[in-house]
């Protein structure tokens, strides 16, 4: 395992980057990059490092005060983890899973001293050695140039909410996009930047650069580092709303939108990719480009579904917004036992197609026995009638289930992220995840629904955490998706299923392999009965079979051509 710089600029072993110019000291190369980016190059350290008295095999002094802060905020993704470079929501991607090099606390009890007391050693794992705190396009251009000349792997990180490990990499240089909050200053030359940049900008009559003046949209523009909660709050004050995710920490312009972007609003308003009007992006050749329907159209198509961190570094995004409206919300709960789940799933599957056409969108959390769905299409009486079978059953099972009304999307979102209505995904632990998009045709007959019920029950029985994301655009009529590179299977599916397994801080290699094997075995129950379907690549198995077809389907060949370009 390579030894990484921890303390100062002057200590970086030449063996870390063996392909750099051998005629110049490594430190000079990094010092020069630091000068080029205005002093915003920094060495990275694992977030829990203050708890350890041994770091990368060397004795050091721990910091009990900072350690206490880390322990207290170990599961706080929105602020604590996303606001530090080395904070990752799925900790298996900041470690080296093959040899166990890591710097983890015990997620069952972060204050457990067994995780960080001697002989425990805090290792760099897969956390990049260095990162640039990106503030403008020239930082990205400099990073591309440096990586190309010196053969240094380059990764892109925003908030660290990545279930595929694309924002980490051992021995790499990272672009940290999280603090690129402002718009209007990053893309222009220094002499043209506005003196008063804004964090988020609403344009009631937005026209994409180079497009006809008649192509007008109500839109919002934001920097790459903006997170959903910030944008939702801004828009709500203006009486507006936007299709967005359910986790307040996720960066709206990053992997979410570029991967497709599913939402509880998707059944009515489409995917995030459907709503994106323009990107400002630096491509790997070091060129700053504007991508929309009227220029760099191939790049724009690829960025709308082909995957974050794949075709360039997005600095700014513009998306459609709409007027705020009220929602009917179903909050269904039951005691989470296997027999109860089977009864709930049977009713859910029997009604899933109608739910999608009625605009219901949201999440079924198997582990906690909860369904949280919302729709703007039905009035309260219609919504109560639609959900009556589920409310009646779960009440009989001993749960408390309601169908109510909220005045805005933000009011629902605030309740959801605070755990008052549903439960978010896990944070601060290893996440061995797999997923499957489940087509509507599997629900078309009683036989198909019975087969699906058995497959789902078997899959959920082999995972420690599982959800159904009822967030597909099946009921969305605004686009057929051909102008995006989103996997076409999304359009014919009713929902995606995710299954997760994990391991403890003191795991062995065999235990880590077993967690992934169990996840694969779990999702195979669904793969077997949906052979023509696929998976959402943002939340998929890192060992996904036939990934080109599964993630991209018929779009794969064109996406590869654009990637090569």
Residue 359 Cα to chain centre, angstroms? 23
Mean pLDDT of 20-30: 59
Sign of CA dihedral 492, 498, 499, 502: positive
Percent of the chain with pLDDT over 90: 85
Treating both helix axes as pointing N-terminal to C-terminal, what angle do 137-150 and 26-36 enclose, rounded to 10 degrees? 160
Alpha carbons within 13 A on the beta-carbon side of 362? 29
Q: Is the pLDDT of residue 387 over 80?
A: yes
In terms of Cβ atoms closer than 10 Å to its own Cβ (0-12, 13-18, 19+), residue 196 is exposed
Residue keyed to tokens 């015990």: 106
Cβ contact 268:475 at 8 Å: yes
Task: Name the DSSP class of 410.
Answer: H
Kindly write down the DSSP assignment for every residue of 216-273, as one continuous string: -EEEEEEETT-BHHHHHHHHHHTTEE----S-TTSBIIIIIHHTT---TTHHHH--HH
pLDDT given at position 419? 66
pLDDT the model gives residue 82: 87
**For 261-273, what is the mean pLDDT?**
97
Residue 26: what pLDDT? Answer: 57
pLDDT for the residue 192: 45
Please give the pLDDT value at position 417.
73
Q: Which of 470, 329, 477 is nearest to 408 (CA)?
A: 329
What's the whole-number mean pLDDT along residues 499-510? 96
Range of 13-17, 206-210, 306-310, 411-415 with top mean pLDDT: 206-210
Q: Which residue has the tokens 């005629």?
A: 23
- Per-residue model confidence (pLDDT) at position 1: 26
**Residue 425's pLDDT is what?**
62
Residues in the chain, how many? 565
What's the 3-state SS for 90-109? EHHHCCCCCCCCCCCCCCCC
d(CA 503, CA 522): 16
Q: Among 17-26, 36-45, 143-152, where is mean pLDDT lowest? A: 17-26
Whether the bond between 119 and the residue before it is cis, its omega within 30 degrees of 0, is yes
User: Per-residue pLDDT tens for 459-484?
Assistant: 999 999 999 999 999 999 999 999 99
Task: Return the pLDDT at 247.
Answer: 87
Structure confidence at residue 295 (pLDDT): 97
The residue behind tokens 């309740």 is 415
- The set of residues, in sequence order, having a beta carbon less than 8 Å from that of 268 and lying 6+ positions away, is 359, 361, 375, 376, 377, 475, 476
Q: What is the mean pLDDT of residues 407-422?
A: 81
Assigned token pair, 110: 């972060």
Taking residue 494's Cβ as centre, other Cβ atoms within 10 Å add up to 24
Q: What is the pLDDT of residues 292-333, one digit of tens each?
A: 999 999 999 999 999 998 999 999 999 999 999 999 999 999
Pairing of strands 465-470, 361-365: antiparallel
Those residues whose C-beta lies under 8 Å from the C-beta of residue 411, and which sit 6 or more positions away, are: none
Q: For tokens 């009638």, name the residue.
A: 385
SS3 assignment, position 278: strand
Ramachandran bin of 8, using left for φ above 0, alpha for ψ from -120 to 50, beta for the remaining angles: beta
Average pLDDT, the chain: 91
Q: How big is the CA angle at 125 (ends 36 and 33), to the nearest 5 degrees?
A: 5
Query: pLDDT tens-digit profile of 142-166?
Result: 999 999 999 999 999 998 889 999 9
Does residue 420 carry a pLDDT above 70?
A: no
Would you say 527 and 420 are in contact if contact means Cβ atoms under 8 Å apart?
no
pLDDT at 3: 29
pLDDT of residue 160: 86
Task: State the average pLDDT over residues 279-284.
Answer: 96
pLDDT of residue 422: 54
At 19 the pLDDT is 33
Q: Is the dihedral of CA 242, 248, 254, 256 positive or negative?
A: negative
d(CA 255, CA 161): 9
* Interatomic CA distance for residues 25 and 42, integer angstroms: 18
Whole-angstrom distance, CA of residue 239 vs CA of residue 260: 25
Q: How confident is the model at residue 76 (pLDDT cuts 50, 70, 90)?
A: confident
pLDDT-derived band at 20 (thresholds 50, 70, 90) equals very low
pLDDT score of 24 = 39
Q: Are 157 and 174 in contact (CB under 8 A)?
A: yes
Average pLDDT on 41-56 reads 95
How many Å apart are CA 494 and CA 479, to the nearest integer? Answer: 16
Checking if the pLDDT of 423 tops 70, the result is no
pLDDT of 502 strictly over 60: yes
Q: How far apart are CA 290 and CA 297, in angstroms?
A: 10
**Alpha helices in 358-475, H assignment, sequence order:** 380-396, 409-417, 446-460
Q: Please measure the distance between the N-terminal and C-terminal CA atoms of the chain and give it in whole angstroms.
A: 35
pLDDT, tens only, 352-382: 999 999 999 999 999 999 999 999 999 999 9
Which pairing describes strands 154-157 and 173-176: parallel, antiparallel, or unpaired?
parallel
Q: What is the DSSP string of 497-524?
A: EEEEE---TT--HHHHHHHHHHHHHHHH
User: pLDDT tens across 489-498, in order?
Assistant: 999 999 999 9
The residues with which 318 forms a beta bridge, in sequence order, are 221, 278
* pLDDT, tens digit (0-9, with 9 covering 90-100), for 93-128: 999 999 999 999 999 999 999 999 999 999 999 999
Q: What is the model's pTM? A: 0.92
197 pLDDT exceeds 80? no
């Amino acid at each position: 395992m390579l030894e990484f710089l921890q303390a100062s600029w002057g200590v970086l072993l030449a063996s870390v980057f063996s392909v750099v110019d051998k005629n110049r000291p490594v430190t000079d190369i990094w010092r020069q990059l630091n000068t080029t980016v205005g002093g915003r190059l920094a060495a990275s350290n694992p977030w829990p490092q203050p708890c350890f008295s041994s770091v990368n095999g060397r004795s050091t002094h721990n910091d009990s005060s900072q350690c206490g802060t880390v322990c207290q905020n170990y599961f706080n993704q929105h602020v604590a983890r996303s606001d530090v470079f080395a904070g990752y929501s799925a900790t298996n991607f900041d470690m080296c899973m093959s040899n166990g090099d890591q710097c983890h606390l015990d997620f069952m009890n972060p204050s457990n001293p067994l995780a960080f007391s001697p002989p425990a050693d805090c290792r760099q794992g897969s956390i990049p050695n260095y990162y640039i705190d990106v503030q403008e396009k020239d930082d990205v251009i400099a990073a591309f140039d440096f990586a190309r000349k010196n053969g240094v792997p380059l990764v892109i990180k925003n908030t660290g909410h990545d279930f595929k490990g694309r924002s980490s990499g051992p021995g790499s240089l990272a672009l940290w996009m999280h603090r690129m909050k402002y718009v209007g200053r990053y893309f222009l030359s220094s002499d043209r930047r506005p003196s008063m940049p804004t964090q988020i900008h609403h344009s009631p009559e937005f026209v994409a650069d180079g497009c006809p003046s008649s192509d007008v949209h109500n839109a919002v523009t934001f920097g790459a580092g903006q997170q959903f909660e910030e944008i939702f709050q801004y828009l709500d004050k203006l009486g507006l709303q936007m299709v967005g995710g359910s986790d307040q920490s996720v960066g709206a312009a990053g992997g979410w939108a570029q991967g497709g972007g599913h939402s509880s609003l998707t059944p009515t308003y489409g995917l995030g990719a459907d709503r994106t009007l323009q990107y400002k992006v630096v491509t790997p050749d070091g060129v700053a480009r504007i991508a929309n329907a009227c220029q760099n159209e191939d790049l724009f198509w690829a960025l709308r579904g082909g995957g974050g961190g794949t075709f360039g570094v997005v600095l700014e995004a513009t998306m459609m917004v709409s007027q705020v409206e009220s929602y009917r919300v179903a909050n269904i709960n039951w005691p989470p036992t296997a027999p109860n789940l089977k009864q709930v799933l049977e009713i859910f599957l029997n009604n899933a197609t109608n739910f999608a056409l009625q605009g219901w969108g949201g999440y079924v959390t198997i582990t906690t026995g909860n369904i949280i769905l919302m729709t703007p299409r039905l009035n309260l009486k219609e919504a109560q009638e639609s959900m009556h079978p589920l409310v009646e059953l779960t009440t009989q099972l001993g749960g408390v289930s309601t169908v109510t009304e909220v005045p805005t999307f933000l009011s629902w979102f605030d309740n959801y992220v605070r755990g008052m209505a549903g439960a978010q995904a896990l944070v601060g632990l290893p996440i061995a995840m797999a997923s499957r998009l489940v087509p509507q045709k599997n629900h078309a007959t009683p036989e198909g629904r019975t087969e699906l019920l058995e497959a789902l029950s078997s899959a959920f029985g082999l995972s420690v955490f599982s959800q159904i994301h009822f967030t597909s655009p099946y009921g969305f009529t605004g686009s057929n998706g051909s102008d995006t590179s989103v996997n076409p299977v999304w359009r014919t599916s009713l929902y995606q299923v995710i299954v997760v397994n994990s391991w403890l801080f003191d795991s062995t290699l065999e235990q880590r392999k077993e967690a992934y094997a169990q996840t694969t075995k779990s999702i195979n129950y669904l793969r077997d009965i949906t052979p023509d379907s696929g998976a959402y690549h943002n939340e998929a198995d890192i060992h996904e079979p036939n990934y080109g077809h599964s993630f991209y389907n018929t779009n794969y060949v064109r996406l590869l051509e654009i990637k090569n370009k």
